[in-house]
A = this chain, B = another copy of it.
Amino acid sequence: MAVTMRHVAERAGVSVKTVSNVVTGYPHVRPQTRERVERAIAELGYQVNLSARSLRQGRTGIIGLALPELSLPYFAELADSVIRVAEQHGLVVLIEQTGADRARELEVLHSERRRLTDGLLFSPLALEPDETALLEVGYPLVLLGERIFDGPADHVTMANVEGARAATTHLVERGCRRIAVLGAHEGERMGSAVLRLEGYRAALADAGLPFDPALVGPAGAWHRSTGAEAMARLLDTGADVDGVFAMNDALALGALHTLHLRRVAVPQEIAVIGFDDVDDARYSQPPLSSVSPGREQIARTAVQLLVERIAGSVVAPRRVVADFEVAARESTAR
């Protein structure tokens, strides 16, 4: 059925190895031999069998990307970027969804499928920072998104604390004094929620504003619906609020939704800023201010680190924090 190197070799009247040499670009092949082989390849429509090559070389050219859910815009956009960057390195991307579930995250880390990928980009949500031992895997691993201290793996993270601080300060600068925060995770000790809360508190401190627990709106999943609900709960408590920092854009967009329903003017009565700067933020009503965490840069860096790990050229774990900026739009224009 399939055309193999042997067929090409016979057709071109050379050995199989010579065909291999031509295919892989080995320099010492006489031009006329090379041409003969190339003609045979074209005529037969030969393509290398990547399984065989993988077996022989111990590499597959595939990297894994494990993330919570593709239907979350931030991760979809991240995946988009990762795929593009990987392609520039001649790699393809196999995506696995963990649903932010601890068991699935562990499964992904140790699955048989890891034997199929040269390395893994992993965006953990459920694993706790003191579980770094679980990250002692026997293959190239680069973590995305959170800050995990002293782990054995490379790590590319967005500036969670600083970004949140900048977002909150942005609200302060626009005159907000009673700033709520949406998306807190109560029991957690690490992860974006904790870090962004930390940044929020730091900004309040910078401005000499008190931290008021009544202004903290918890939300387990960071979806629009939970953002809408958290905002509603907050308004229902009668809390006096003039600014909202939502820990991601989905939450912020959900909050905008609630504010719209309740006829609260944004940004006049309450200013809103999000985090992630997903494409949608630009098109909400009003357009949403947000912290742009450098998604492209994260993807580029992460793939780069992984490629270096795969090549085996590094030993010590590395941390990279991507640059961020505050994208100011109408939702905080006052």
Contact = CB atoms under 8 A, between A and B. Distances in A.
Interface of A: 47-52, 54-55, 60-62, 69-71, 73, 76-77, 79-80, 83-84, 92-97, 112-116, 224-225, 228, 253-254, 256-257, 260, 279-280, 282-285
Contacts of A52: 55
B80 A69 contact: yes
Q: Give the copy number.
A: 2
Contacts of A77: 70-71
Contacts of A71: 73, 76-77, 80, 279
A112 B55 contact: no
A95 B97 contact: no
A55 B62 contact: no
Nearest to A99: B84
B76 A113 contact: no
B51 A55 contact: yes
Contacts of A50: 112-113, 115-116
Given A48-B115, A94-B92, A253 B283 contact: yes
A260 B257 CA distance: 14
Contacts of A84: 97
Closest 5 CB pairs of A and B: A76-B76, A51-B54, A224-B283, A70-B80, A51-B55
Nearest to A330: B261
Nearest to A287: B257
Given A62-B94, A80-B71, A225 B283 contact: yes
Given A73-B73, A77-B70, A51 B62 contact: no
28 contacts: A47-B114, A51-B51, A51-B116, A54-B54, A60-B116, A69-B80, A70-B70, A70-B79, A70-B80, A71-B76, A71-B80, A71-B279, A73-B76, A76-B76, A76-B79, A79-B95, A83-B96, A92-B113, A92-B116, A93-B94, A95-B95, A224-B280, A224-B282, A225-B282, A225-B283, A257-B284, A260-B285, A280-B280
Contacts of A112: 47-48, 50
Contacts of A114: 47
Nearest to A48: B112
A99 to B, nearest CB: 9
Given A224-B280, A225-B283, A83 B97 contact: yes
Given A62-B116, A116-B62, A257 B280 contact: no
Contacts of A254: 283
Q: Which of A60, A260, A284 counts the most chain B CB atoms within 10 A?
A: A284
A77 B73 CA distance: 9
Given A73-B73, A76-B79, 5 more contacts: A51-B54, A54-B54, A70-B80, A80-B97, A92-B116
Nearest to A93: B95
Nearest to A259: B285
A94 B97 contact: no
Contact of A47 (B70, B76, B115, B257): B115
